[in-house]
Amino acid sequence: MKKNAVLFLLTIACLLAITSRTFAETRTVSWDPVTTYTDGTPIEAEKTVTYTAYWTTDAGLSIASLRTIGSSVPQTSTTFDPDLQGMTRGSTVYFTAKAVLNTGEESALSPAFSWTVPVVSVPAVLSSIAVGGPTSVNEGGTGTYTATATWDDGTTTSVTPTWSENSSYATISTGGVLTASAVTSNQTVTVSASYTSGGVTRTATRTVSIVDVPAVLSSIAVGGPTSVNEGGTGTYTATATWDDGTTTSVTPTWSENSSYATISTGGVLTASAVTSNQTVTVSASYTSGGVTRTATRTVSIVDVPSLAPAAPQNMGITGPISTVPTEVWRIAWEPVTTYADGTPLDPGRTVRYTAYWTDDPALSAGSLRQLASSISTTTFDFDPIARQMVKNQGAYLTVRAILDNGNQSSIAVAPVWVVANEGPVPPARGQITKQ
Protein backbone atom coordinates (compact mmCIF):
# COMPACT_ATOMS: atom_id res chain seq x y z
CA MET A 1 0.00 0.00 0.00
CA LYS A 2 1.28 3.48 -0.90
CA LYS A 3 2.29 5.95 1.71
CA ASN A 4 -0.39 8.45 2.40
CA ALA A 5 1.92 11.37 3.01
CA VAL A 6 2.43 13.68 0.08
CA LEU A 7 5.51 15.75 -0.56
CA PHE A 8 4.36 19.35 -0.88
CA LEU A 9 6.71 21.89 -2.42
CA LEU A 10 5.56 25.41 -1.54
CA THR A 11 7.01 28.59 -3.03
CA ILE A 12 5.77 32.15 -3.06
CA ALA A 13 6.08 32.62 -6.78
CA CYS A 14 4.78 36.18 -6.85
CA LEU A 15 3.66 38.70 -4.34
CA LEU A 16 1.56 41.20 -6.30
CA ALA A 17 0.15 44.34 -4.74
CA ILE A 18 -3.06 45.61 -6.32
CA THR A 19 -4.43 48.79 -4.80
CA SER A 20 -8.00 49.63 -5.73
CA ARG A 21 -9.81 53.03 -5.54
CA THR A 22 -11.18 51.90 -2.14
CA PHE A 23 -7.62 51.26 -1.01
CA ALA A 24 -8.13 47.52 -0.40
CA GLU A 25 -4.90 45.62 -1.09
CA THR A 26 -4.80 42.15 -2.65
CA ARG A 27 -1.75 39.84 -2.57
CA THR A 28 -1.28 36.45 -4.22
CA VAL A 29 0.63 33.48 -2.77
CA SER A 30 1.44 30.61 -5.17
CA TRP A 31 3.20 27.24 -5.13
CA ASP A 32 4.29 24.41 -7.40
CA PRO A 33 1.65 21.80 -8.16
CA VAL A 34 1.91 18.48 -6.21
CA THR A 35 1.94 15.50 -8.62
CA THR A 36 3.73 12.75 -6.64
CA TYR A 37 3.70 10.94 -3.36
CA THR A 38 6.53 11.27 -0.88
CA ASP A 39 8.24 8.27 -2.42
CA GLY A 40 8.26 9.94 -5.81
CA THR A 41 5.57 7.85 -7.41
CA PRO A 42 2.97 9.79 -9.39
CA ILE A 43 -0.42 10.44 -7.95
CA GLU A 44 -3.07 8.51 -9.82
CA ALA A 45 -4.96 10.35 -12.46
CA GLU A 46 -8.33 9.59 -10.88
CA LYS A 47 -7.30 11.36 -7.71
CA THR A 48 -7.65 15.09 -7.30
CA VAL A 49 -5.42 17.43 -5.35
CA THR A 50 -6.55 20.54 -3.47
CA TYR A 51 -4.57 22.81 -1.21
CA THR A 52 -4.91 24.63 2.09
CA ALA A 53 -2.70 27.71 2.63
CA TYR A 54 -1.84 29.30 5.99
CA TRP A 55 0.06 32.21 7.45
CA THR A 56 1.53 32.69 10.92
CA THR A 57 3.83 34.95 12.87
CA ASP A 58 5.55 31.82 14.29
CA ALA A 59 8.57 30.78 12.28
CA GLY A 60 8.18 27.32 13.86
CA LEU A 61 4.74 26.92 12.27
CA SER A 62 3.05 25.78 15.46
CA ILE A 63 -0.37 24.37 14.72
CA ALA A 64 -2.08 26.75 17.11
CA SER A 65 -0.61 29.80 15.39
CA LEU A 66 -1.73 28.91 11.88
CA ARG A 67 -4.37 31.08 10.22
CA THR A 68 -6.06 29.90 7.07
CA ILE A 69 -5.71 31.94 3.90
CA GLY A 70 -7.53 29.50 1.64
CA SER A 71 -8.81 25.91 1.90
CA SER A 72 -9.79 23.33 -0.72
CA VAL A 73 -8.08 25.52 -3.28
CA PRO A 74 -8.04 23.64 -6.60
CA GLN A 75 -5.37 25.85 -8.19
CA THR A 76 -1.81 26.51 -7.13
CA SER A 77 -2.39 30.03 -5.79
CA THR A 78 -4.71 32.02 -3.62
CA THR A 79 -5.19 35.69 -2.82
CA PHE A 80 -5.47 37.56 0.43
CA ASP A 81 -5.74 41.10 1.84
CA PRO A 82 -3.01 41.65 4.46
CA ASP A 83 -5.21 44.04 6.42
CA LEU A 84 -8.24 41.73 6.39
CA GLN A 85 -5.97 38.88 7.53
CA GLY A 86 -4.83 41.03 10.44
CA MET A 87 -1.22 41.18 9.37
CA THR A 88 0.71 44.00 11.01
CA ARG A 89 2.31 46.38 8.57
CA GLY A 90 6.09 46.24 8.72
CA SER A 91 6.15 42.85 10.54
CA THR A 92 7.42 39.47 9.25
CA VAL A 93 4.93 36.68 8.62
CA TYR A 94 5.36 33.12 7.43
CA PHE A 95 3.41 31.22 4.80
CA THR A 96 2.91 27.41 4.55
CA ALA A 97 0.52 25.04 2.79
CA LYS A 98 -0.48 21.39 2.56
CA ALA A 99 -1.81 19.21 -0.23
CA VAL A 100 -5.02 17.22 0.32
CA LEU A 101 -6.13 14.31 -1.87
CA ASN A 102 -9.78 13.50 -2.41
CA THR A 103 -9.09 10.28 -0.53
CA GLY A 104 -8.38 12.31 2.57
CA GLU A 105 -4.65 11.86 2.46
CA GLU A 106 -2.74 15.00 3.46
CA SER A 107 0.85 16.12 3.06
CA ALA A 108 2.96 17.65 5.74
CA LEU A 109 3.19 21.42 5.94
CA SER A 110 5.58 22.98 3.47
CA PRO A 111 8.65 24.78 4.82
CA ALA A 112 7.92 28.29 6.10
CA PHE A 113 8.26 31.13 3.59
CA SER A 114 8.90 34.50 5.23
CA TRP A 115 7.51 37.83 4.02
CA THR A 116 7.68 41.32 5.44
CA VAL A 117 4.30 42.99 5.24
CA PRO A 118 4.90 46.29 3.39
CA VAL A 119 3.89 49.56 4.94
CA VAL A 120 1.32 51.12 2.62
CA SER A 121 0.32 54.79 2.73
CA VAL A 122 -3.36 54.79 1.96
CA PRO A 123 -4.32 57.85 -0.17
CA ALA A 124 -6.61 60.23 1.68
CA VAL A 125 -10.09 60.78 0.26
CA LEU A 126 -11.04 64.27 -0.96
CA SER A 127 -13.59 65.75 1.44
CA SER A 128 -14.03 69.32 0.22
CA ILE A 129 -12.35 72.31 -1.40
CA ALA A 130 -12.41 75.99 -0.49
CA VAL A 131 -11.77 79.03 -2.69
CA GLY A 132 -9.50 81.78 -1.38
CA GLY A 133 -8.89 85.24 -2.78
CA PRO A 134 -10.21 88.80 -2.61
CA THR A 135 -13.91 89.43 -2.13
CA SER A 136 -13.75 92.49 -4.37
CA VAL A 137 -11.79 93.50 -7.46
CA ASN A 138 -11.71 97.01 -8.89
CA GLU A 139 -12.93 97.44 -12.44
CA GLY A 140 -10.02 97.00 -14.83
CA GLY A 141 -8.04 95.22 -12.12
CA THR A 142 -7.17 91.61 -11.36
CA GLY A 143 -7.49 89.25 -8.42
CA THR A 144 -5.79 85.89 -7.93
CA TYR A 145 -7.79 82.98 -6.51
CA THR A 146 -6.59 79.72 -4.99
CA ALA A 147 -8.18 76.41 -4.06
CA THR A 148 -7.41 74.39 -0.93
CA ALA A 149 -8.47 70.74 -0.63
CA THR A 150 -9.41 69.15 2.70
CA TRP A 151 -8.91 65.37 2.93
CA ASP A 152 -10.58 62.74 5.10
CA ASP A 153 -7.43 62.45 7.21
CA GLY A 154 -7.79 66.10 8.21
CA THR A 155 -4.93 67.37 6.07
CA THR A 156 -5.20 70.26 3.61
CA THR A 157 -3.30 70.89 0.39
CA SER A 158 -3.30 73.48 -2.36
CA VAL A 159 -4.78 72.11 -5.57
CA THR A 160 -5.27 73.34 -9.12
CA PRO A 161 -8.98 73.19 -9.93
CA THR A 162 -10.97 74.02 -13.02
CA TRP A 163 -11.97 77.68 -12.71
CA SER A 164 -15.10 79.43 -14.01
CA GLU A 165 -17.20 82.52 -13.34
CA ASN A 166 -20.79 83.32 -14.19
CA SER A 167 -20.94 86.83 -15.66
CA SER A 168 -19.97 89.22 -18.43
CA TYR A 169 -18.28 91.50 -15.91
CA ALA A 170 -15.10 89.45 -15.58
CA THR A 171 -13.06 86.55 -16.94
CA ILE A 172 -10.92 84.02 -15.08
CA SER A 173 -7.85 82.20 -16.36
CA THR A 174 -6.89 78.56 -15.85
CA GLY A 175 -4.47 79.84 -13.22
CA GLY A 176 -7.24 81.50 -11.20
CA VAL A 177 -6.55 85.11 -12.21
CA LEU A 178 -9.81 87.08 -12.39
CA THR A 179 -9.75 90.10 -14.72
CA ALA A 180 -12.53 92.63 -14.07
CA SER A 181 -14.16 94.55 -16.90
CA ALA A 182 -15.25 98.20 -16.72
CA VAL A 183 -18.59 98.63 -14.94
CA THR A 184 -20.89 101.59 -14.41
CA SER A 185 -21.96 100.34 -10.97
CA ASN A 186 -20.83 97.64 -8.56
CA GLN A 187 -21.55 94.15 -9.89
CA THR A 188 -21.55 90.75 -8.18
CA VAL A 189 -19.99 87.69 -9.83
CA THR A 190 -19.46 84.12 -8.62
CA VAL A 191 -16.06 82.46 -8.95
CA SER A 192 -16.35 78.64 -9.06
CA ALA A 193 -13.71 75.93 -8.62
CA SER A 194 -14.10 72.21 -9.37
CA TYR A 195 -11.53 69.57 -8.42
CA THR A 196 -11.47 65.78 -8.85
CA SER A 197 -9.25 63.27 -7.03
CA GLY A 198 -9.63 59.50 -6.84
CA GLY A 199 -12.94 59.67 -8.61
CA VAL A 200 -14.28 62.17 -6.07
CA THR A 201 -15.25 65.65 -7.33
CA ARG A 202 -15.80 68.61 -5.09
CA THR A 203 -16.79 72.19 -5.98
CA ALA A 204 -16.68 75.52 -4.18
CA THR A 205 -17.64 79.12 -4.96
CA ARG A 206 -16.70 82.60 -3.85
CA THR A 207 -18.82 85.72 -4.29
CA VAL A 208 -16.80 88.63 -5.65
CA SER A 209 -17.83 92.27 -6.10
CA ILE A 210 -16.59 94.05 -9.21
CA VAL A 211 -16.19 97.60 -7.91
CA ASP A 212 -17.07 100.67 -9.98
CA VAL A 213 -14.10 102.87 -9.10
CA PRO A 214 -14.64 106.62 -9.59
CA ALA A 215 -11.90 108.04 -11.77
CA VAL A 216 -9.39 110.26 -9.97
CA LEU A 217 -9.08 113.87 -11.14
CA SER A 218 -5.68 114.34 -12.81
CA SER A 219 -5.83 117.89 -14.17
CA ILE A 220 -8.06 120.59 -15.63
CA ALA A 221 -7.56 122.88 -18.60
CA VAL A 222 -9.13 126.27 -19.32
CA GLY A 223 -10.48 126.97 -22.79
CA GLY A 224 -11.65 130.25 -24.27
CA PRO A 225 -10.41 133.32 -26.16
CA THR A 226 -6.92 134.65 -25.48
CA SER A 227 -8.12 138.23 -25.97
CA VAL A 228 -11.28 140.19 -25.25
CA ASN A 229 -12.00 143.70 -26.52
CA GLU A 230 -12.62 146.35 -23.91
CA GLY A 231 -16.31 146.49 -23.17
CA GLY A 232 -16.75 143.02 -24.64
CA THR A 233 -17.18 139.54 -23.19
CA GLY A 234 -15.55 136.14 -23.56
CA THR A 235 -16.83 132.77 -22.39
CA TYR A 236 -14.42 130.32 -20.75
CA THR A 237 -14.78 126.59 -20.12
CA ALA A 238 -12.97 123.98 -18.04
CA THR A 239 -12.19 120.41 -19.10
CA ALA A 240 -11.13 117.78 -16.55
CA THR A 241 -8.77 114.91 -17.38
CA TRP A 242 -9.12 111.77 -15.24
CA ASP A 243 -6.65 109.02 -14.38
CA ASP A 244 -8.44 106.62 -16.72
CA GLY A 245 -7.65 108.89 -19.66
CA THR A 246 -11.17 110.24 -20.11
CA THR A 247 -12.07 113.92 -20.25
CA THR A 248 -15.25 115.71 -19.20
CA SER A 249 -16.53 119.27 -19.08
CA VAL A 250 -16.75 120.53 -15.50
CA THR A 251 -18.01 123.64 -13.74
CA PRO A 252 -15.13 125.09 -11.72
CA THR A 253 -14.82 128.07 -9.44
CA TRP A 254 -13.78 131.01 -11.63
CA SER A 255 -11.63 134.01 -10.69
CA GLU A 256 -9.44 136.64 -12.32
CA ASN A 257 -6.70 138.81 -10.89
CA SER A 258 -7.25 142.38 -12.07
CA SER A 259 -9.41 145.48 -12.11
CA TYR A 260 -9.65 145.31 -15.88
CA ALA A 261 -12.31 142.59 -16.01
CA THR A 262 -14.77 140.53 -14.00
CA ILE A 263 -15.77 136.89 -14.47
CA SER A 264 -19.09 135.31 -13.60
CA THR A 265 -19.73 131.92 -11.98
CA GLY A 266 -20.58 130.68 -15.46
CA GLY A 267 -17.16 131.65 -16.84
CA VAL A 268 -18.22 134.80 -18.73
CA LEU A 269 -15.43 137.42 -18.63
CA THR A 270 -16.56 141.04 -19.01
CA ALA A 271 -13.79 143.45 -20.01
CA SER A 272 -13.69 147.00 -18.67
CA ALA A 273 -12.57 150.05 -20.67
CA VAL A 274 -8.79 150.34 -20.88
CA THR A 275 -6.47 153.02 -22.23
CA SER A 276 -3.95 150.42 -23.39
CA ASN A 277 -3.86 146.66 -23.75
CA GLN A 278 -3.87 144.90 -20.38
CA THR A 279 -3.07 141.31 -19.39
CA VAL A 280 -5.26 139.44 -16.92
CA THR A 281 -5.18 135.84 -15.67
CA VAL A 282 -8.34 133.76 -15.67
CA SER A 283 -8.17 130.98 -13.05
CA ALA A 284 -10.31 127.87 -12.61
CA SER A 285 -10.35 125.58 -9.57
CA TYR A 286 -12.18 122.25 -9.45
CA THR A 287 -12.46 119.59 -6.72
CA SER A 288 -13.58 115.97 -7.09
CA GLY A 289 -13.20 113.16 -4.59
CA GLY A 290 -11.08 115.30 -2.33
CA VAL A 291 -8.66 116.13 -5.14
CA THR A 292 -8.39 119.77 -6.24
CA ARG A 293 -6.81 120.88 -9.48
CA THR A 294 -6.35 124.42 -10.84
CA ALA A 295 -5.56 125.91 -14.22
CA THR A 296 -5.07 129.40 -15.65
CA ARG A 297 -5.35 131.19 -18.96
CA THR A 298 -3.68 134.46 -19.85
CA VAL A 299 -6.07 136.88 -21.53
CA SER A 300 -5.35 140.25 -23.15
CA ILE A 301 -7.91 143.02 -22.62
CA VAL A 302 -7.60 144.92 -25.89
CA ASP A 303 -7.73 148.72 -26.05
CA VAL A 304 -10.00 149.22 -29.04
CA PRO A 305 -9.52 152.59 -30.83
CA SER A 306 -12.74 154.63 -30.80
CA LEU A 307 -14.51 154.53 -34.14
CA ALA A 308 -15.96 157.74 -35.55
CA PRO A 309 -19.34 157.65 -37.22
CA ALA A 310 -19.63 158.28 -40.94
CA ALA A 311 -20.35 161.85 -42.07
CA PRO A 312 -23.97 162.58 -43.02
CA GLN A 313 -24.64 162.18 -46.75
CA ASN A 314 -26.89 163.71 -49.40
CA MET A 315 -27.66 167.00 -47.71
CA GLY A 316 -30.29 169.16 -49.32
CA ILE A 317 -32.13 172.46 -48.71
CA THR A 318 -35.81 172.96 -49.39
CA GLY A 319 -38.11 175.92 -48.85
CA PRO A 320 -39.26 178.21 -47.94
CA ILE A 321 -41.54 175.87 -46.02
CA SER A 322 -43.25 178.88 -44.50
CA THR A 323 -43.14 182.67 -44.94
CA VAL A 324 -45.18 183.89 -42.03
CA PRO A 325 -44.07 185.52 -39.90
CA THR A 326 -40.64 184.81 -41.43
CA GLU A 327 -39.19 182.69 -44.13
CA VAL A 328 -38.21 179.28 -42.85
CA TRP A 329 -36.04 176.84 -44.80
CA ARG A 330 -35.35 173.14 -44.14
CA ILE A 331 -32.06 171.30 -44.29
CA ALA A 332 -32.23 167.46 -44.52
CA TRP A 333 -29.72 164.54 -44.74
CA GLU A 334 -29.67 160.76 -44.67
CA PRO A 335 -29.40 159.03 -41.28
CA VAL A 336 -25.95 157.79 -40.25
CA THR A 337 -25.96 154.00 -39.62
CA THR A 338 -22.29 153.07 -40.02
CA TYR A 339 -18.88 153.94 -38.74
CA ALA A 340 -16.48 155.81 -40.98
CA ASP A 341 -14.92 152.47 -42.02
CA GLY A 342 -18.29 151.25 -43.28
CA THR A 343 -19.03 148.76 -40.48
CA PRO A 344 -22.50 148.98 -38.94
CA LEU A 345 -22.93 150.87 -35.71
CA ASP A 346 -22.98 148.66 -32.63
CA PRO A 347 -26.43 147.66 -31.41
CA GLY A 348 -27.84 150.21 -28.99
CA ARG A 349 -25.55 152.99 -30.22
CA THR A 350 -27.46 156.31 -30.69
CA VAL A 351 -26.69 159.17 -33.09
CA ARG A 352 -27.43 162.89 -32.78
CA TYR A 353 -26.51 165.71 -35.13
CA THR A 354 -25.15 169.26 -34.99
CA ALA A 355 -25.90 171.62 -37.90
CA TYR A 356 -23.65 174.56 -38.95
CA TRP A 357 -23.44 177.32 -41.54
CA THR A 358 -20.46 179.34 -42.76
CA ASP A 359 -19.56 181.77 -45.51
CA ASP A 360 -16.18 180.02 -45.85
CA PRO A 361 -16.19 177.55 -48.73
CA ALA A 362 -13.29 175.77 -47.01
CA LEU A 363 -15.52 175.08 -44.01
CA SER A 364 -12.74 176.04 -41.63
CA ALA A 365 -13.49 175.12 -38.05
CA GLY A 366 -13.22 178.70 -36.87
CA SER A 367 -15.79 179.88 -39.38
CA LEU A 368 -18.50 177.38 -38.47
CA ARG A 369 -21.57 178.86 -36.84
CA GLN A 370 -23.85 176.46 -35.04
CA LEU A 371 -27.44 176.29 -36.17
CA ALA A 372 -28.50 173.62 -33.65
CA SER A 373 -27.05 170.74 -31.64
CA SER A 374 -28.24 167.37 -30.33
CA ILE A 375 -30.67 167.02 -33.20
CA SER A 376 -32.32 163.60 -32.96
CA THR A 377 -33.94 163.72 -36.43
CA THR A 378 -32.42 164.14 -39.88
CA THR A 379 -34.00 167.54 -40.61
CA PHE A 380 -33.68 171.02 -39.18
CA ASP A 381 -35.68 174.16 -39.96
CA PHE A 382 -34.06 177.57 -39.76
CA ASP A 383 -34.69 181.30 -40.43
CA PRO A 384 -31.74 182.62 -42.50
CA ILE A 385 -32.19 186.23 -41.39
CA ALA A 386 -32.46 185.23 -37.73
CA ARG A 387 -29.21 183.31 -38.20
CA GLN A 388 -27.54 186.51 -39.54
CA MET A 389 -27.10 185.19 -43.04
CA VAL A 390 -26.54 188.04 -45.50
CA LYS A 391 -28.97 188.24 -48.40
CA ASN A 392 -27.66 187.59 -51.86
CA GLN A 393 -24.49 186.09 -50.44
CA GLY A 394 -23.55 182.42 -50.53
CA ALA A 395 -23.88 180.40 -47.34
CA TYR A 396 -22.55 176.86 -46.79
CA LEU A 397 -24.62 174.49 -44.69
CA THR A 398 -23.15 171.31 -43.11
CA VAL A 399 -23.95 168.69 -40.45
CA ARG A 400 -21.85 166.54 -38.15
CA ALA A 401 -22.93 163.17 -36.57
CA ILE A 402 -22.11 162.63 -32.88
CA LEU A 403 -22.40 159.24 -31.14
CA ASP A 404 -23.56 158.76 -27.58
CA ASN A 405 -19.96 157.96 -26.61
CA GLY A 406 -18.89 161.40 -27.85
CA ASN A 407 -17.18 160.24 -31.05
CA GLN A 408 -17.83 162.71 -33.89
CA SER A 409 -17.88 162.40 -37.63
CA SER A 410 -16.24 164.77 -40.03
CA ILE A 411 -18.54 167.48 -41.34
CA ALA A 412 -20.75 166.65 -44.28
CA VAL A 413 -20.09 167.95 -47.76
CA ALA A 414 -21.72 171.38 -47.71
CA PRO A 415 -24.10 172.51 -50.46
CA VAL A 416 -23.79 176.20 -51.27
CA TRP A 417 -26.95 178.21 -50.89
CA VAL A 418 -27.59 181.89 -51.73
CA VAL A 419 -29.76 183.77 -49.32
CA ALA A 420 -32.69 185.09 -51.40
CA ASN A 421 -33.21 188.95 -51.78
CA GLU A 422 -36.53 190.77 -51.71
CA GLY A 423 -36.36 192.48 -55.21
CA PRO A 424 -34.68 195.75 -56.26
CA VAL A 425 -34.59 198.65 -53.91
CA PRO A 426 -37.22 201.39 -54.51
CA PRO A 427 -36.27 204.61 -56.39
CA ALA A 428 -34.86 207.34 -54.25
CA ARG A 429 -34.36 211.11 -54.42
CA GLY A 430 -37.30 211.76 -56.73
CA GLN A 431 -37.57 215.38 -58.35
CA ILE A 432 -39.27 217.37 -61.22
CA THR A 433 -37.21 219.24 -63.93
CA LYS A 434 -38.19 221.77 -66.73
CA GLN A 435 -38.08 220.54 -70.32
**Considering only 323-327, 373-377, 422-426, which range has the smallest mean pLDDT?**
422-426
Angstrom distance (rounded) from CA 243 to CA 296: 20
Residue extent(s) of CATH 2.60.40.10 domains in the chain: 18-116, 316-418
Residue 406 reports pLDDT greater than 60: yes
Residue 426 reports pLDDT greater than 70: no
Architecture of domain 18-116: Sandwich (2.60)
In this structure, which topology does domain 126-211 adopt according to CATH?
Answer: Immunoglobulin-like (2.60.40)
Residue extent(s) of CATH 2.60.40.60 domains in the chain: 126-211, 217-302
Superfamily of domain 316-418: Immunoglobulins (2.60.40.10)
Angstrom distance (rounded) from CA 95 to CA 145: 54
- Residue 416 Cα distances to 78, 99, 328, 395, 421, angstroms: 153, 167, 17, 6, 16
State residue 384 phi and psi, 5-degree precision. -55, -40
160 CA to centre of own chain: 33
Residue 199 reports pLDDT greater than 90: yes
Strands (E), 2-141: 18-19, 25-30, 49-56, 67-73, 77-80, 92-101, 113-116, 126-132, 136-138
Average pLDDT rounded to a whole number, residues 146-154: 96
Neighbours of 53 (CB within 10 A): 23
pLDDT at 7 (0 to 100): 43
Residue 167 reports pLDDT greater than 80: yes
Q: What class does CATH assign to 217-302?
A: mainly beta
Angstrom distance (rounded) from CA 333 to CA 301: 38
pLDDT at 420 (0 to 100): 57
Write the burial class of residue 116 (CB in 10 Å: 0-12 exposed, 13-18 middle, 19+ buried): exposed
SS3 state at 186: coil
Angstrom distance (rounded) from CA 195 to CA 60: 52
| Chain segment 34-77, per-residue pLDDT in tens | 999 999 999 999 999 999 999 999 999 999 999 999 999 999 99
Angstrom distance (rounded) from CA 105 to CA 39: 14
